[in-house]
Amino acid sequence: MIICFSGAVSGVDNPPGDCYYNSNIIFKRGAETPARGHICGGKLSPLLLCVLADVRRDIFLRPATGNGGNMDLLLKNSLIYAEDAFIEGDILISGGYIAEVAPRISAVPGARILDLKDLYIFPGFADVHVHLREPGFSYKETIRTGTLAAARGGYTAVCAMPNVSPAPDSPSGLAAQLALIRENAAVRVLPYGAITRNREGKAISDIAGLADKVAAFSDDGSGVQSETVMRAAMVQAKALGKLIVAHCEDDGGAPPGESEWRQLSRDLGLVRETGCAYHACHLSTKESVALIRQAKAEGLDVTCEVTPHHLLLDETMVRDDGRFKMNPPIGSPRDRAALCDALRDGTVDMVATDHAPHSPQEKSLGLAGSQNGVSGLECAFAVLYTGLVETGKIGLPRLIAAMSGAPRARFGLGGGAIRPGAPADIAVFCLNRTYTIDPGEFLSMGKSTPFEGMAVKGRCMITLSGGKLIWKDTKEGIWHA
Protein backbone atom coordinates (compact mmCIF):
# COMPACT_ATOMS: atom_id res chain seq x y z
CA MET A 1 0.00 0.00 0.00
CA ILE A 2 1.29 3.46 -0.91
CA ILE A 3 -0.30 6.54 0.58
CA CYS A 4 0.87 9.92 -0.70
CA PHE A 5 0.78 13.09 1.42
CA SER A 6 1.66 16.36 -0.37
CA GLY A 7 4.04 14.47 -2.58
CA ALA A 8 5.65 12.61 0.32
CA VAL A 9 5.08 8.94 0.91
CA SER A 10 4.49 7.16 4.22
CA GLY A 11 4.00 3.43 4.56
CA VAL A 12 5.65 0.09 5.08
CA ASP A 13 5.99 -0.67 1.38
CA ASN A 14 8.06 2.40 0.53
CA PRO A 15 11.81 2.61 0.02
CA PRO A 16 13.71 3.77 3.12
CA GLY A 17 14.07 7.52 3.39
CA ASP A 18 10.97 8.43 1.41
CA CYS A 19 8.78 9.18 4.42
CA TYR A 20 7.28 12.48 5.43
CA TYR A 21 7.34 13.29 9.13
CA ASN A 22 5.52 15.87 11.19
CA SER A 23 6.60 15.89 14.82
CA ASN A 24 4.13 18.51 16.08
CA ILE A 25 3.09 16.76 19.30
CA ILE A 26 1.37 17.99 22.43
CA PHE A 27 2.38 15.84 25.38
CA LYS A 28 0.87 16.38 28.83
CA ARG A 29 3.53 15.08 31.15
CA GLY A 30 2.16 13.11 34.07
CA ALA A 31 -1.09 12.40 32.29
CA GLU A 32 -2.10 8.75 32.40
CA THR A 33 -3.23 8.79 28.77
CA PRO A 34 -1.10 11.30 26.85
CA ALA A 35 -2.86 13.80 24.63
CA ARG A 36 -1.74 14.45 21.07
CA GLY A 37 -1.78 17.46 18.81
CA HIS A 38 -3.41 15.48 16.00
CA ILE A 39 -5.80 12.58 15.86
CA CYS A 40 -5.83 9.57 13.56
CA GLY A 41 -9.60 9.28 13.32
CA GLY A 42 -12.19 11.31 11.50
CA LYS A 43 -12.04 12.40 7.87
CA LEU A 44 -9.06 11.99 5.59
CA SER A 45 -6.87 15.08 5.37
CA PRO A 46 -7.10 17.21 2.21
CA LEU A 47 -3.32 16.72 2.08
CA LEU A 48 -4.02 13.19 0.93
CA LEU A 49 -3.31 13.34 -2.77
CA CYS A 50 -3.51 9.75 -3.81
CA VAL A 51 -3.97 6.23 -2.56
CA LEU A 52 -2.52 3.39 -4.57
CA ALA A 53 -3.56 0.27 -2.76
CA ASP A 54 -4.29 -3.37 -3.05
CA VAL A 55 -7.51 -2.98 -1.11
CA ARG A 56 -8.20 -6.12 0.87
CA ARG A 57 -10.57 -6.79 3.72
CA ASP A 58 -8.35 -9.51 5.11
CA ILE A 59 -5.08 -9.09 6.98
CA PHE A 60 -1.82 -7.90 5.49
CA LEU A 61 0.74 -10.70 5.60
CA ARG A 62 4.25 -9.93 4.40
CA PRO A 63 5.87 -12.91 2.66
CA ALA A 64 8.83 -14.48 4.40
CA THR A 65 12.18 -13.03 3.36
CA GLY A 66 15.63 -14.51 3.42
CA ASN A 67 15.98 -13.80 7.12
CA GLY A 68 12.86 -15.69 8.14
CA GLY A 69 10.37 -12.89 7.49
CA ASN A 70 12.06 -10.38 9.80
CA MET A 71 12.91 -6.97 8.40
CA ASP A 72 14.74 -4.08 10.00
CA LEU A 73 12.15 -1.49 10.91
CA LEU A 74 12.36 2.03 12.25
CA LEU A 75 9.15 3.09 13.99
CA LYS A 76 9.00 6.87 14.13
CA ASN A 77 7.13 9.55 16.05
CA SER A 78 4.94 7.46 18.34
CA LEU A 79 4.04 7.37 22.01
CA ILE A 80 5.67 4.26 23.43
CA TYR A 81 4.61 2.44 26.57
CA ALA A 82 7.97 1.44 28.05
CA GLU A 83 9.11 0.89 31.64
CA ASP A 84 5.60 1.61 32.95
CA ALA A 85 5.36 5.06 31.38
CA PHE A 86 4.67 6.70 28.04
CA ILE A 87 7.59 8.27 26.21
CA GLU A 88 7.76 10.09 22.89
CA GLY A 89 10.18 8.50 20.52
CA ASP A 90 11.34 5.97 17.99
CA ILE A 91 12.05 2.24 18.05
CA LEU A 92 14.59 0.42 15.90
CA ILE A 93 13.88 -3.27 15.29
CA SER A 94 16.55 -5.57 13.89
CA GLY A 95 16.60 -9.34 13.51
CA GLY A 96 13.29 -9.72 15.30
CA TYR A 97 14.45 -7.86 18.42
CA ILE A 98 14.25 -4.31 19.69
CA ALA A 99 17.65 -2.77 19.04
CA GLU A 100 17.08 0.75 20.32
CA VAL A 101 14.45 2.95 21.97
CA ALA A 102 15.22 6.66 21.93
CA PRO A 103 13.60 10.08 21.56
CA ARG A 104 14.93 10.26 18.01
CA ILE A 105 16.72 7.66 15.91
CA SER A 106 18.29 8.66 12.61
CA ALA A 107 17.53 6.71 9.46
CA VAL A 108 19.31 3.36 9.36
CA PRO A 109 20.54 1.98 6.04
CA GLY A 110 18.30 -0.85 4.87
CA ALA A 111 15.61 -0.28 7.52
CA ARG A 112 12.02 0.34 6.45
CA ILE A 113 10.50 3.37 8.10
CA LEU A 114 7.01 3.50 9.54
CA ASP A 115 5.77 6.94 10.52
CA LEU A 116 3.46 6.24 13.46
CA LYS A 117 2.60 9.79 14.40
CA ASP A 118 -0.49 10.00 16.62
CA LEU A 119 -0.31 6.26 17.30
CA TYR A 120 0.55 4.39 20.49
CA ILE A 121 2.94 1.47 20.76
CA PHE A 122 2.18 -1.16 23.41
CA PRO A 123 3.88 -4.44 24.24
CA GLY A 124 2.08 -7.20 22.35
CA PHE A 125 -0.81 -8.58 24.38
CA ALA A 126 -0.91 -12.16 25.68
CA ASP A 127 -4.09 -14.17 26.21
CA VAL A 128 -3.79 -17.25 28.41
CA HIS A 129 -7.32 -18.49 27.68
CA VAL A 130 -8.06 -19.07 23.99
CA HIS A 131 -9.94 -21.91 22.30
CA LEU A 132 -8.37 -22.50 18.89
CA ARG A 133 -10.50 -25.63 18.33
CA GLU A 134 -7.87 -27.62 16.43
CA PRO A 135 -7.44 -30.50 16.15
CA GLY A 136 -10.94 -31.91 16.05
CA PHE A 137 -13.28 -28.94 15.64
CA SER A 138 -12.03 -26.98 12.65
CA TYR A 139 -15.59 -26.10 11.61
CA LYS A 140 -15.59 -23.69 14.60
CA GLU A 141 -12.08 -22.23 14.30
CA THR A 142 -8.61 -23.15 13.07
CA ILE A 143 -5.23 -22.31 14.47
CA ARG A 144 -4.72 -20.11 11.42
CA THR A 145 -7.93 -18.11 11.75
CA GLY A 146 -7.69 -17.92 15.53
CA THR A 147 -4.14 -16.59 15.55
CA LEU A 148 -4.89 -14.11 12.78
CA ALA A 149 -7.79 -12.90 14.93
CA ALA A 150 -5.34 -12.60 17.82
CA ALA A 151 -2.98 -10.49 15.73
CA ARG A 152 -5.83 -8.23 14.63
CA GLY A 153 -6.56 -7.60 18.30
CA GLY A 154 -2.93 -6.79 19.18
CA TYR A 155 -2.04 -10.20 20.65
CA THR A 156 1.35 -11.75 19.95
CA ALA A 157 1.05 -14.80 22.24
CA VAL A 158 -1.87 -17.03 23.17
CA CYS A 159 -2.30 -20.19 25.24
CA ALA A 160 -4.53 -22.79 23.57
CA MET A 161 -7.02 -24.58 25.82
CA PRO A 162 -7.07 -28.41 25.87
CA ASN A 163 -10.68 -29.18 24.89
CA VAL A 164 -9.65 -30.46 21.46
CA SER A 165 -9.59 -33.95 19.98
CA PRO A 166 -7.43 -35.85 20.66
CA ALA A 167 -7.03 -34.41 24.14
CA PRO A 168 -3.47 -33.33 24.93
CA ASP A 169 -3.15 -35.79 27.83
CA SER A 170 0.13 -37.36 26.66
CA PRO A 171 2.97 -36.45 24.29
CA SER A 172 1.34 -38.51 21.55
CA GLY A 173 -2.02 -36.85 22.18
CA LEU A 174 -0.38 -33.44 21.90
CA ALA A 175 1.58 -34.20 18.73
CA ALA A 176 -1.13 -33.34 16.21
CA GLN A 177 -1.80 -29.99 17.85
CA LEU A 178 1.90 -29.11 17.91
CA ALA A 179 2.19 -29.95 14.21
CA LEU A 180 -0.73 -27.66 13.37
CA ILE A 181 0.77 -24.88 15.46
CA ARG A 182 4.13 -25.15 13.72
CA GLU A 183 2.49 -25.10 10.30
CA ASN A 184 -0.26 -22.53 10.71
CA ALA A 185 0.17 -20.21 13.71
CA ALA A 186 0.49 -16.52 12.86
CA VAL A 187 1.54 -15.59 16.41
CA ARG A 188 3.13 -17.58 19.20
CA VAL A 189 0.91 -20.38 20.52
CA LEU A 190 1.59 -22.38 23.68
CA PRO A 191 -0.79 -25.29 24.24
CA TYR A 192 -2.14 -26.50 27.55
CA GLY A 193 -1.82 -30.06 28.68
CA ALA A 194 -4.91 -31.74 30.11
CA ILE A 195 -5.01 -32.33 33.86
CA THR A 196 -6.80 -35.66 33.42
CA ARG A 197 -6.93 -38.34 30.76
CA ASN A 198 -9.25 -37.30 27.95
CA ARG A 199 -10.34 -34.47 30.27
CA GLU A 200 -12.73 -36.91 31.98
CA GLY A 201 -11.65 -36.08 35.53
CA LYS A 202 -11.00 -39.68 36.52
CA ALA A 203 -7.22 -40.19 36.32
CA ILE A 204 -4.40 -37.72 35.91
CA SER A 205 -2.73 -37.30 32.54
CA ASP A 206 0.95 -37.87 31.74
CA ILE A 207 1.91 -34.65 33.48
CA ALA A 208 5.61 -35.51 33.63
CA GLY A 209 5.74 -36.39 29.94
CA LEU A 210 3.98 -33.17 28.94
CA ALA A 211 5.63 -30.73 31.34
CA ASP A 212 8.27 -29.37 28.98
CA LYS A 213 5.88 -29.11 26.04
CA VAL A 214 2.96 -27.13 27.48
CA ALA A 215 2.27 -23.77 29.08
CA ALA A 216 0.38 -25.25 32.04
CA PHE A 217 -2.26 -27.88 32.88
CA SER A 218 -6.02 -27.41 32.69
CA ASP A 219 -9.23 -29.33 32.05
CA ASP A 220 -10.93 -26.13 30.97
CA GLY A 221 -14.47 -26.64 29.81
CA SER A 222 -15.18 -28.58 32.96
CA GLY A 223 -14.04 -28.67 36.56
CA VAL A 224 -12.08 -31.54 38.07
CA GLN A 225 -14.76 -33.00 40.34
CA SER A 226 -12.62 -35.41 42.34
CA GLU A 227 -10.66 -33.86 45.19
CA THR A 228 -8.34 -36.88 45.18
CA VAL A 229 -7.54 -36.49 41.49
CA MET A 230 -6.97 -32.75 41.80
CA ARG A 231 -4.67 -33.26 44.79
CA ALA A 232 -2.60 -35.80 42.84
CA ALA A 233 -2.34 -33.44 39.89
CA MET A 234 -1.24 -30.58 42.12
CA VAL A 235 1.44 -32.71 43.76
CA GLN A 236 2.92 -33.61 40.38
CA ALA A 237 2.63 -30.08 39.02
CA LYS A 238 4.36 -28.72 42.13
CA ALA A 239 7.25 -31.17 41.69
CA LEU A 240 7.66 -30.15 38.05
CA GLY A 241 7.24 -26.42 38.58
CA LYS A 242 4.06 -26.19 36.48
CA LEU A 243 0.84 -24.25 36.96
CA ILE A 244 -2.54 -25.84 37.54
CA VAL A 245 -5.13 -23.71 35.74
CA ALA A 246 -8.64 -24.44 36.92
CA HIS A 247 -12.08 -24.05 35.44
CA CYS A 248 -14.00 -23.99 38.72
CA GLU A 249 -17.42 -25.58 38.39
CA ASP A 250 -18.94 -28.03 40.85
CA ASP A 251 -21.32 -30.42 39.11
CA GLY A 252 -23.19 -31.15 42.32
CA GLY A 253 -26.24 -29.10 41.38
CA ALA A 254 -25.42 -25.72 42.96
CA PRO A 255 -26.43 -22.57 41.05
CA PRO A 256 -23.78 -21.31 38.57
CA GLY A 257 -22.20 -18.67 40.80
CA GLU A 258 -22.12 -20.92 43.82
CA SER A 259 -20.76 -23.83 41.80
CA GLU A 260 -17.78 -21.63 40.88
CA TRP A 261 -16.82 -20.36 44.30
CA ARG A 262 -17.43 -23.68 46.07
CA GLN A 263 -14.95 -25.49 43.81
CA LEU A 264 -12.55 -22.57 44.02
CA SER A 265 -12.68 -22.81 47.80
CA ARG A 266 -11.89 -26.53 47.61
CA ASP A 267 -8.98 -25.93 45.27
CA LEU A 268 -7.50 -23.21 47.44
CA GLY A 269 -7.56 -25.65 50.34
CA LEU A 270 -5.54 -28.07 48.19
CA VAL A 271 -3.11 -25.27 47.31
CA ARG A 272 -2.54 -24.70 51.03
CA GLU A 273 -1.86 -28.41 51.41
CA THR A 274 0.37 -28.97 48.35
CA GLY A 275 2.03 -25.62 47.73
CA CYS A 276 1.11 -25.87 44.05
CA ALA A 277 1.12 -22.77 41.85
CA TYR A 278 -2.51 -22.20 40.89
CA HIS A 279 -4.44 -19.99 38.48
CA ALA A 280 -8.23 -19.61 38.46
CA CYS A 281 -9.97 -19.12 35.12
CA HIS A 282 -12.67 -16.58 34.28
CA LEU A 283 -13.82 -15.45 37.74
CA SER A 284 -17.41 -14.27 37.67
CA THR A 285 -18.61 -13.74 41.26
CA LYS A 286 -17.90 -11.48 44.18
CA GLU A 287 -17.48 -14.55 46.40
CA SER A 288 -14.70 -15.85 44.18
CA VAL A 289 -12.98 -12.46 44.36
CA ALA A 290 -13.12 -12.58 48.16
CA LEU A 291 -11.59 -16.06 48.21
CA ILE A 292 -8.71 -15.04 45.95
CA ARG A 293 -8.10 -11.90 47.97
CA GLN A 294 -7.88 -13.95 51.16
CA ALA A 295 -5.60 -16.54 49.54
CA LYS A 296 -3.21 -13.84 48.41
CA ALA A 297 -3.24 -12.29 51.87
CA GLU A 298 -2.14 -15.69 53.19
CA GLY A 299 0.75 -15.75 50.74
CA LEU A 300 -0.56 -18.60 48.59
CA ASP A 301 0.86 -18.85 45.07
CA VAL A 302 -2.39 -18.02 43.30
CA THR A 303 -3.44 -15.80 40.40
CA CYS A 304 -6.66 -15.35 38.47
CA GLU A 305 -8.19 -13.86 35.36
CA VAL A 306 -11.38 -12.12 34.33
CA THR A 307 -12.98 -11.77 30.90
CA PRO A 308 -14.08 -8.56 29.17
CA HIS A 309 -17.70 -9.71 29.20
CA HIS A 310 -17.73 -10.27 32.97
CA LEU A 311 -16.17 -6.83 33.49
CA LEU A 312 -18.53 -4.91 31.22
CA LEU A 313 -21.85 -6.77 31.36
CA ASP A 314 -24.28 -7.85 34.03
CA GLU A 315 -27.45 -9.91 34.01
CA THR A 316 -29.66 -6.85 33.42
CA MET A 317 -28.06 -6.51 29.97
CA VAL A 318 -28.47 -10.13 28.87
CA ARG A 319 -30.80 -10.87 25.96
CA ASP A 320 -32.31 -14.12 24.73
CA ASP A 321 -29.61 -14.44 22.12
CA GLY A 322 -26.78 -16.94 21.69
CA ARG A 323 -24.19 -14.19 21.82
CA PHE A 324 -24.94 -13.84 25.55
CA LYS A 325 -24.51 -17.58 26.24
CA MET A 326 -21.23 -18.32 27.99
CA ASN A 327 -19.92 -20.31 30.93
CA PRO A 328 -19.68 -18.98 33.57
CA PRO A 329 -22.76 -16.89 32.82
CA ILE A 330 -22.92 -13.14 33.23
CA GLY A 331 -23.46 -12.28 36.90
CA SER A 332 -25.17 -9.61 38.92
CA PRO A 333 -24.30 -5.90 39.00
CA ARG A 334 -22.62 -6.53 42.36
CA ASP A 335 -20.50 -9.29 40.84
CA ARG A 336 -19.47 -6.99 38.02
CA ALA A 337 -18.55 -4.19 40.42
CA ALA A 338 -16.47 -6.56 42.55
CA LEU A 339 -14.59 -7.81 39.50
CA CYS A 340 -13.83 -4.28 38.32
CA ASP A 341 -12.61 -3.29 41.79
CA ALA A 342 -10.46 -6.41 41.95
CA LEU A 343 -8.90 -5.72 38.56
CA ARG A 344 -8.11 -2.18 39.62
CA ASP A 345 -6.48 -3.16 42.92
CA GLY A 346 -4.60 -6.17 41.53
CA THR A 347 -6.57 -8.94 43.22
CA VAL A 348 -7.49 -10.00 39.69
CA ASP A 349 -4.15 -10.27 37.93
CA MET A 350 -5.03 -10.33 34.27
CA VAL A 351 -7.63 -10.16 31.56
CA ALA A 352 -8.22 -13.23 29.38
CA THR A 353 -10.82 -13.33 26.64
CA ASP A 354 -11.95 -16.97 26.90
CA HIS A 355 -12.22 -16.70 23.11
CA ALA A 356 -14.53 -19.62 22.35
CA PRO A 357 -15.79 -19.57 18.74
CA HIS A 358 -18.68 -21.71 17.49
CA SER A 359 -20.44 -22.13 14.17
CA PRO A 360 -23.35 -19.80 13.35
CA GLN A 361 -25.78 -22.69 13.76
CA GLU A 362 -24.51 -23.47 17.26
CA LYS A 363 -25.05 -19.86 18.34
CA SER A 364 -28.47 -19.38 16.71
CA LEU A 365 -30.61 -21.17 19.32
CA GLY A 366 -31.02 -18.47 21.95
CA LEU A 367 -29.85 -18.64 25.55
CA ALA A 368 -31.37 -22.03 26.18
CA GLY A 369 -30.10 -23.90 23.14
CA SER A 370 -26.88 -22.22 22.03
CA GLN A 371 -23.41 -23.50 22.82
CA ASN A 372 -21.44 -21.73 25.55
CA GLY A 373 -18.81 -19.31 24.37
CA VAL A 374 -18.17 -16.07 22.51
CA SER A 375 -15.41 -14.62 20.34
CA GLY A 376 -13.30 -11.97 21.99
CA LEU A 377 -9.77 -11.58 20.63
CA GLU A 378 -10.50 -8.89 18.06
CA CYS A 379 -12.49 -6.54 20.26
CA ALA A 380 -11.09 -7.08 23.77
CA PHE A 381 -8.87 -4.02 23.99
CA ALA A 382 -11.37 -1.68 22.36
CA VAL A 383 -14.28 -2.63 24.62
CA LEU A 384 -12.12 -2.51 27.75
CA TYR A 385 -10.48 0.77 26.81
CA THR A 386 -13.87 2.29 26.07
CA GLY A 387 -15.72 0.75 29.01
CA LEU A 388 -13.08 0.99 31.73
CA VAL A 389 -10.31 3.46 30.82
CA GLU A 390 -12.41 6.12 29.12
CA THR A 391 -14.87 6.00 32.02
CA GLY A 392 -12.12 6.35 34.64
CA LYS A 393 -12.62 2.95 36.27
CA ILE A 394 -9.00 1.91 35.66
CA GLY A 395 -5.97 3.57 34.13
CA LEU A 396 -4.48 2.69 30.77
CA PRO A 397 -1.22 1.39 32.33
CA ARG A 398 -3.23 -1.04 34.48
CA LEU A 399 -5.09 -2.33 31.43
CA ILE A 400 -1.85 -2.83 29.50
CA ALA A 401 -0.31 -4.70 32.44
CA ALA A 402 -3.37 -6.94 32.74
CA MET A 403 -3.28 -7.74 29.01
CA SER A 404 0.47 -8.13 28.58
CA GLY A 405 2.88 -7.97 31.50
CA ALA A 406 0.93 -10.00 34.05
CA PRO A 407 -0.01 -12.98 31.84
CA ARG A 408 3.49 -13.15 30.37
CA ALA A 409 5.12 -13.11 33.80
CA ARG A 410 2.82 -15.69 35.38
CA PHE A 411 2.92 -18.14 32.47
CA GLY A 412 6.59 -17.64 31.61
CA LEU A 413 5.79 -16.40 28.11
CA GLY A 414 8.63 -13.90 27.89
CA GLY A 415 8.38 -10.48 26.32
CA GLY A 416 5.92 -7.93 27.60
CA ALA A 417 8.41 -5.07 27.69
CA ILE A 418 9.64 -2.56 25.16
CA ARG A 419 13.34 -2.29 25.78
CA PRO A 420 16.56 -3.04 23.87
CA GLY A 421 17.16 -6.78 23.59
CA ALA A 422 13.51 -7.74 24.01
CA PRO A 423 11.61 -9.61 21.27
CA ALA A 424 9.86 -7.20 18.92
CA ASP A 425 6.34 -8.19 19.97
CA ILE A 426 4.50 -4.94 19.47
CA ALA A 427 0.96 -3.68 18.97
CA VAL A 428 0.31 -0.28 17.45
CA PHE A 429 -3.02 1.35 18.31
CA CYS A 430 -4.93 4.43 17.34
CA LEU A 431 -6.71 5.37 20.56
CA ASN A 432 -8.79 8.14 19.01
CA ARG A 433 -10.25 5.98 16.28
CA THR A 434 -13.99 5.46 16.84
CA TYR A 435 -15.95 2.66 15.22
CA THR A 436 -18.63 0.07 15.93
CA ILE A 437 -17.93 -3.58 16.73
CA ASP A 438 -18.93 -5.51 13.63
CA PRO A 439 -18.47 -9.31 13.84
CA GLY A 440 -18.72 -9.43 10.06
CA GLU A 441 -15.20 -7.97 9.99
CA PHE A 442 -13.77 -10.62 12.33
CA LEU A 443 -11.01 -12.83 11.01
CA SER A 444 -12.11 -15.47 13.49
CA MET A 445 -14.61 -18.00 12.18
CA GLY A 446 -16.64 -17.29 15.33
CA LYS A 447 -18.85 -14.23 14.80
CA SER A 448 -20.77 -14.27 18.08
CA THR A 449 -20.02 -11.51 20.56
CA PRO A 450 -22.18 -9.71 23.13
CA PHE A 451 -20.42 -6.50 22.10
CA GLU A 452 -21.86 -6.46 18.58
CA GLY A 453 -22.92 -2.91 17.74
CA MET A 454 -20.99 -1.32 20.62
CA ALA A 455 -19.43 2.06 19.78
CA VAL A 456 -15.77 1.90 20.82
CA LYS A 457 -12.45 3.73 20.67
CA GLY A 458 -9.06 2.12 20.12
CA ARG A 459 -8.16 0.25 16.93
CA CYS A 460 -5.16 -2.01 16.37
CA MET A 461 -3.31 -0.72 13.30
CA ILE A 462 -0.22 -2.95 13.25
CA THR A 463 0.92 -6.09 15.07
CA LEU A 464 4.51 -7.30 14.98
CA SER A 465 5.37 -10.72 16.36
CA GLY A 466 9.07 -11.43 16.66
CA GLY A 467 9.67 -8.50 14.33
CA LYS A 468 7.41 -9.94 11.62
CA LEU A 469 4.58 -7.80 10.34
CA ILE A 470 1.51 -9.96 10.98
CA TRP A 471 -1.37 -7.48 10.92
CA LYS A 472 -1.80 -4.07 9.32
CA ASP A 473 -5.09 -2.25 9.04
CA THR A 474 -5.46 -2.19 5.27
CA LYS A 475 -8.74 -0.27 5.09
CA GLU A 476 -7.23 3.03 6.24
CA GLY A 477 -3.54 2.25 6.31
CA ILE A 478 -1.41 4.60 8.37
CA TRP A 479 -2.30 8.17 7.59
CA HIS A 480 -2.28 11.65 9.06
CA ALA A 481 -5.24 13.84 9.73
Nearest by Cα to 426 from 457, 401, 456, 463: 463
Q: How far is CA 29 from CA 116, 175, 308, in A?
A: 20, 51, 30
Q: Where are the beta strands (DSSP E) in 163-290?
A: 188-191, 217-218, 244-246, 278-280
* Backbone φ/ψ region at 429: left (φ over 0), alpha (ψ -120 to 50), beta: beta
Rounded Cα distance, 282 and 350, in Å: 10
Q: How far is CA 238 from CA 202, 211, 245, 299, 472, in A?
A: 20, 11, 12, 16, 41
Q: Answer positive or negative: Cα dihedral of 171, 177, 182, 185.
A: negative
Strand 120-123 versus strand 426-436 pairing type: antiparallel
Rounded Cα distance, 437 and 289, in Å: 29
* H or E stretch at 123: strand 120-123
Rounded Cα distance, 32 and 29, in Å: 9
In this structure, the number of other CB atoms found within 10 A of the CB of residue 55 comes to 9
In this structure, the number of other CB atoms found within 10 A of the CB of residue 19 comes to 20
Q: How many Cα atoms are found within 13 Å in the side-chain-facing hemisphere of 443?
A: 27
Rounded Cα distance, 90 and 116, in Å: 9
- Annotated catalytic residue within 354, 425, 438, 473: 354
Give one DSSP letter per residue of 40-55, joined into a string.
SSSSPPTTEEEEE---
250 among known catalytic residues: no
Contact present, 122 and 111 (Cβ < 8 Å)? no
Rounded Cα distance, 325 and 369, in Å: 9
Annotated catalytic residues are: 354
